[in-house]
Amino acid sequence: MASDTRTLTARAAEHALTTLALDLRWSWNHATDPLWRQIDPECWDRTRNPWTTLNTASRAHLKMLLGKPAFRRAVTDALAAQAERLHQPTWFGRKHDASPLSCIAYFSMEYMLSEALPIYSGGLGNVAGDQLKAASDLGVPVVAVGLLFAQGYFRQELTSDGRQQALYPFNDPSLLPLSPVLTEEGDVLRIPIHFGQGPIWVRAWKAVVGRATLYLLDTNDPANPPGVRCVTTQLYGGDADLRLRQEITLGIAGWRLLDQLGYQPDVCHLNEGHAAFAAVERARCLMDRLRIPFRQALVIARAGTLFTTHTAVPAGFDRFPPGLIGTYLAHYVEKRLDIPLDTLLALGRADPNDHGEPFNMAWLAIHVSGAVNGVSRLHGAVSRRLFAPLFPRWPEREVPVGHVTNGVHTPTWDSIEADTLWTEAAGSERWRGTQEGLADRIRALDDRTLWTTRCQARAAFIHKVAATYAERQGFSGDVGLASLPVPALSPDVLTLGFARRFATYKRPDLLLHDPDRLARLLSHPEQPMQLVLAGKAHPADLAGQALITRWLAFARRPDVRGRIVFMTDYDMAVAQILVQGVDLWINTPRRPWEASGTSGMKVLVNGGLNLSELDGWWAEAYAPEVGWALGDGREHGEDPAVDTAEAEAMYTLLESEIAPAFYARDGQGIPAAWVGRMRESMARLTPLFSANRVVRDYTDHFYLPAATRYHARLADGGQAAHDIVQWQDRLDTAWPELRIASVTISGPEGQRHVAVALSLGHIPADAVQVQLYADPIDAGPPSVTVIPPGDCRDSDGLTHYTLTTGLDRPAGDYTVRVIPARSGIAIPLESTHITWQR
């Protein structure tokens, strides 16, 4: 196809380069790398950033290149390939073309797409960025919204005495791979919103991520007061006041932007509670469009909203004093939503009548969503516990939080060596479909192929570590590094990787629990290990920073020289180097505080193995055939004795199982047992913990049902939503009248007769369901059987329900309960009433 295309003119080719450099697909597909290298080899090698390379290259050199037919031909081909890709059939197009799902709006405070767009801190941004890329691969129609931080998250340097320095380089939007969002007339698009009384202007920038689009908002419009201009300066800096204004910008200005640009999303996906105001503003847009009140509009918006929660501790939820909400939102709530401020405040509270309760963004997110999920199986269970206060008297198991375990965008994290291996085994389209048969193709690979690839990747890694290290040494500020020699890691030594945010719950010091024992492991004469570390501690987290200092002091011990490297400024580029090269990835969070964790997933495709606490994703991924586990799968709080025991267990594992497995070589020099684990880990876990699987799960199990429910409520000017509001009001008023008058269970075993009489008061009989309930045995599901209505109301005003059934448990295990029932509405999410037999 490309050969038929006419070669572009110099001017058109220059334009084409701009188009290509603005498509962040280059962050995971390297087909255009040679073009950029030709434009400016030095800048390219240093940044790997096409946009910077294109914009800072010498104009004369570029002009000379554009004068060469061969170069123009290459640009022409690259542009044609891009266009062709956009028209290729996709998984979504094939499977869901006729579905009601046409657009998903995805909201997140941070996105980790490339270090060329440094607007992320860690895991949350990783999930958002990798899902956006997978949505592009699969053709799932996502439009994403975030904030453009002028300084992003802090960058790290280390002083000579091992202290962390936080730096805030400026992100000049014109040097980032973004374009300003303009109106149809070509003017800068301004989104007016209110912080309190004052109107302010929000600007927007567009990032292209393959088929997907990401809009980034910022408040740094010179027309705004200085305090407002700084709202989008730093990610996770500042106080509650700043955080609230960021969340208002993200949610309210974000949804308004989509509306102004003509998007009509069926589904809104809130990646963490930060973005929950988006659903509120979505309701406001519906109010205007349909001329309906806020509550009815919210009932419509809610059906099409999904909330993904990411924290495992209550302290992870953003909470604001009610007064602060009043300061910034009273005007919006009273004038635009046309409701009293208290009505909004109630949406952010567990108990709507407790006026002292702070405004909790996670509670708000629950109250504006039609579905909720955690990010691993274990985290789903933990979240049900955290959200239980919102569903009083419901069993914790039935708190409406499901889970979709996270995954990573495999093409972003694989090494060149791994990419080659997988392409040969499974073809170049392997991450763009359903991944069927992938595991078997990897299982068919022989030991030698796998081991050779692993050794090549390790050698490349060691080279990159030394090069990165040497390059950073050159920067005078980085004296922490400058005072250390360039590390001489060895290509044959078992290589461990350990990198994370230095937050206490991650226990970044567990491996350092007994420094002498660790030193002996590293410098073992026959079975040595080498360790590459990286990590940042939040500038306000002094305890975390002290741990970095401890690690650096350890790294200077003469007996571990050449066996340990601390790489500064843990970012996406450093993470890529690490996960591609290491043999073993170590993760030591305190269960159950790692909601999912993703860094360990990044080593899978590369043939790295995991040694991790049974927490987050590893609690469901671990099996002895694929890696090693720490901990007993239970929770122990912050018990120091448990930390000691787990550290000891980790050293013992490393010493007596892991190192021996790595160094036990067969006649061909291959560690067969190690390679066996690699093969099974790659085959079984890579597809499962991929963003490809995640995005397909979200699409099939959340987005599609949400879109259907949303359209049902939107139809006829929102009639169904109007009826739901009336139904909810009626239940709220009349529920206290409901009484379970009598329950009898009679008859022989296997033929039990259950009879229930209810006094319904003013509740319509079809608004409730009567159930026979028994608590779960072990971890199984509870037993829930519907008891259908029998006779209508009899002369005593009672309604009767009867059931004849074989119960498989003793009658005493069962209890009767009554819950709201209505088709097309989520119970207990949208009506939390429940009455139990006493």
Q: How far is the CB of 278 from ligand PLP (least distance, A)?
A: 24
The residue (of 469 and 814) whose beta carbon lies closer to ligand PLP is: 469
The residue (of 442 and 575) whose beta carbon lies closer to ligand PLP is: 575
Q: How far is the CB of 387 from ligand PLP (least distance, A)?
A: 22
Q: How far is the CB of 797 from ligand PLP (least distance, A)?
A: 58
The residue (of 38 and 156) whose beta carbon lies closer to ligand PLP is: 156
CA distance 645 to 513: 10
Report the residue closest to ligand PLP, judged by CB: 575
CA distance 658 to 656: 6
The residue (of 498 and 703) whose beta carbon lies closer to ligand PLP is: 498
Q: How far is the CB of 534 from ligand PLP (least distance, A)?
A: 8
- Continuous H helices in 667-738: 672-680, 686-688, 691-697, 704-734
Q: How far is the CB of 405 from ligand PLP (least distance, A)?
A: 13
The residue (of 273 and 597) whose beta carbon lies closer to ligand PLP is: 597
Burial pattern 96-108, b for ≥16 Cβ within 10 A else e, equals beeeebebbbbbb
Q: How far is the CB of 683 from ligand PLP (least distance, A)?
A: 22
The secondary structure of residue 119, as a DSSP letter, is B
Q: How far is the CB of 603 from ligand PLP (least distance, A)?
A: 10
Place of tokens 């799932």: 140
Neighbours of 614 (CB within 10 A): 19
CA distance 667 to 288: 75
CB–CB of 250/217 below 8 Å?
yes
Angle between helices 704-734 and 277-290 in degrees, nearest 10: 80
CA distance 752 to 382: 37
The residue (of 278 and 621) whose beta carbon lies closer to ligand PLP is: 621
CB–CB of 831/735 below 8 Å?
no
Question: For residue 214, what are its two tokens?
Answer: 């990401």
CB–CB of 608/328 below 8 Å?
no
Q: How far is the CB of 604 from ligand PLP (least distance, A)?
A: 12
CB–CB of 386/593 below 8 Å?
no
Residues in the chain: 838
The residue (of 139 and 508) whose beta carbon lies closer to ligand PLP is: 508
The residue (of 398 and 571) whose beta carbon lies closer to ligand PLP is: 571
The residue (of 359 and 498) whose beta carbon lies closer to ligand PLP is: 498
Coil/strand/helix, residue 683: helix
Instruction: Output the CA–CA distances (angstroms, integers) from residue 650 to 557, 630, 657, 664, in the order listed.
Output: 21, 7, 10, 20
The candidate with the shortest Cα–Cα distance to 329, out of 267, 263, 266, 252, is: 252
The residue (of 169 and 717) whose beta carbon lies closer to ligand PLP is: 169
The residue (of 122 and 592) whose beta carbon lies closer to ligand PLP is: 122
CA distance 145 to 282: 14
Angle between helices 69-87 and 59-66 in degrees, nearest 10: 80
How distant is the alpha carbon of residue 67 from its chain centre?
A: 45
Neighbours of 361 (CB within 10 A): 24
The residue (of 110 and 259) whose beta carbon lies closer to ligand PLP is: 110
CA distance 391 to 401: 11
How distant is the alpha carbon of residue 65 from its chain centre?
A: 41
Q: How far is the CB of 250 from ligand PLP (least distance, A)?
A: 21
Q: How far is the CB of 602 from ligand PLP (least distance, A)?
A: 6
Q: How far is the CB of 115 from ligand PLP (least distance, A)?
A: 9
The residue (of 24 and 325) whose beta carbon lies closer to ligand PLP is: 24
The residue (of 125 and 370) whose beta carbon lies closer to ligand PLP is: 125
CA distance 254 to 251: 5
Coil/strand/helix, residue 592: coil
Q: How far is the CB of 599 from ligand PLP (least distance, A)?
A: 3
Q: How far is the CB of 411 from ligand PLP (least distance, A)?
A: 15
Coil/strand/helix, residue 603: coil
Q: Which residues bind ligand PLP (CB under 6 A)?
A: 122-123, 126, 500, 570-572, 575, 597-599
CA distance 270 to 127: 12
Q: How far is the CB of 533 from ligand PLP (least distance, A)?
A: 13
The secondary structure of residue 789, as a DSSP letter, is B
CA distance 288 to 653: 63
CA distance 599 to 689: 11
The residue (of 126 and 305) whose beta carbon lies closer to ligand PLP is: 126
Q: How many Cα neighbours within 13 Å face the side chain of 164?
A: 29
Q: How far is the CB of 574 from ligand PLP (least distance, A)?
A: 7
Question: For residue 363, what are its two tokens?
Answer: 């509670």
**Residue 681 corresponds to which amino acid?**
S
The residue (of 584 and 714) whose beta carbon lies closer to ligand PLP is: 584
The residue (of 337 and 534) whose beta carbon lies closer to ligand PLP is: 534
Q: How far is the CB of 221 from ligand PLP (least distance, A)?
A: 30
CB–CB of 145/254 below 8 Å?
yes
The secondary structure of residue 206, as a DSSP letter, is E
**Residue 698 corresponds to which amino acid?**
Y
CA distance 513 to 500: 17
Q: How far is the CB of 587 from ligand PLP (least distance, A)?
A: 7
Q: How far is the CB of 380 from ligand PLP (least distance, A)?
A: 17
Burial pattern 82-95, b for ≥16 Cβ within 10 A else e, equals beebeeeebbbeeb
The residue (of 28 and 71) whose beta carbon lies closer to ligand PLP is: 28
Q: What is the DSSP string of 402-428?
A: EE----B-HHHH--HHHHHHHHHHH-T
Angle between helices 322-331 and 240-248 in degrees, nearest 10: 30
Coil/strand/helix, residue 257: helix
